[in-house]
Amino acid sequence: MTTHDAKQMTTSFQPRRPRRNRQSAAIREMVQETRLHVSDFIFPVFVMEGAGQRTEVASMPGIFRYSPDLLLDEIGRCLDLGITTFDLFPNLPEAKKDKYATESQNTEGLYLQTIQRIKAKYPEACIMTDVAMDPYSSDGHDGLVDDGQILNDETLEILSKMAVAQAQAGADMLGPSDMMDGRVGYMRQALDNAGHKNVAIMSYTAKYASAFYGPFRDALDSAPKFGDKKTYQMNPANRREALIEAELDTAEGADILMVKPALAYLDIISLLRQNSQLPIAAYNVSGEYAMIKAAAQNGWLDGERAMMESLMAIKRAGADVILTYFAKEAAQLLANA
Ligand SMILES: NCc1[nH]cc(CCC(=O)O)c1CC(=O)O
Ligand SMILES: [Mg+2]
């Protein structure tokens, strides 16, 4: 090729050159479409019995179960970073579990006492709770088990008592994660009847029967004792069904709709965002956290960049709120940016 030919090619007229908007950090930031902010995040936290104790979840490096006193300290540190909302889960000894999840309504028990203690010390913190039987169930299922079946309507009764007990303890927002049919409406009515009209419900609307919950079940020792959760959690192959779930939860009074997991379900997040006027949340689950941590520990990818890229992707897909175990690390990075 002669010099003349090369010149001809490089000066060929191209009015549209998307690279012009990528040429400097100043321009790239100016035209950036999606931005992460610490207020996007909800931090899921694990509480366990005892005092002065914390144990790391083996499959979730950097994530700990805290005894209530140390959890209060951790929440204080997170509030300083600008994280305002916490999703609380209890790790209970096997001896406290039974068929009916009785411990979930024990006002002197670990979970309800911890909600009270957090709200007493940090009234400004928004406490989201988990409504499902599995952390308290000797069967390790989200609903009541009878003869190997997960009963729907009988479970609603237990869940709504649990919900009212949590609201009574001071919870700001309830997160039914069980996937029983009709539980949002049933719970809404029970809450209103008990005078908790302003306690919100973030429904796990499209929750899939996913392999990515493994590390969470380690954290709580809550794996199902038999079978799987496929008769209540959704089939990962289904997309339209998420719209049916969204329609029902909306009609039943959900305040926020959630998709779970997040990264393998970005299309579902986008679908609900486009078909609902409600805020959409996405749960970046334990297995999604563990994958990035494990690869980073092996030196196989840059953990910080993979974390921020993943969170950005979840927001870009349409999530207004992201529940993530990365909340604290991401908040630290955003604060230093
Ligand atoms: N009600 C159960 C529940 N609530 C939140 C999670 C998973 C969260 C995570 O993996 O981070 C699960 C696991 C399951 O359905 O077995
Ligand atoms: Mg449903």
Over residues 184-203, the mean pLDDT reads 98
Ligand 1, atom 5, lies closest to the CA of 177
Over residues 130-155, the mean pLDDT reads 97
Residue 108 assigned to a binding site? no
- What is the C-alpha separation between 311 and 133, in angstroms, rounded? 29
Residue 3 pLDDT exceeds 80: no
- What is the C-alpha separation between 302 and 305, in angstroms, rounded? 6
Residue 130 pLDDT exceeds 90: yes
Residue 6 pLDDT exceeds 60: no
Nearest ligand 1 atom, CA 287: 10
What confidence tier does 337 reach under pLDDT thresholds 50, 70, 90?
A: confident
- What is the C-alpha separation between 177 and 132, in angstroms, rounded? 6
pLDDT in tens, 190-199: 999 999 999 9
Which domains, and CATH codes, for the chain? Answer: 35-336 (3.20.20.70)
Amino acid at 111: Y
pLDDT in tens, 213-240: 999 999 999 999 999 999 999 999 999 9
Query: Known catalytic residue: 207?
Result: yes
Over residues 170-183, the mean pLDDT reads 98
ipTM: 0.97
Mean pLDDT, the chain, rounded, equals 96
- What is the C-alpha separation between 16 and 14, in angstroms, rounded? 6
Between helices 303-317 and 286-297, what is the axis angle to 10°?
Answer: 150
Ligand 1, atom 10, lies closest to the CA of 213
What confidence tier does 4 reach under pLDDT thresholds 50, 70, 90?
A: low
What confidence tier does 27 reach under pLDDT thresholds 50, 70, 90?
A: very high
Nearest ligand 1 atom, CA 133: 1
CB atoms within 10 A of CB 306: 17
Q: Specify the pLDDT at position 8.
A: 58
Q: Specify the pLDDT at position 12.
A: 83
Bridge partners of residue 281, in order along the sequence:
258, 321
pLDDT in tens, 270-284: 999 999 999 999 999
- What is the C-alpha separation between 310 and 87, in angstroms, rounded? 20
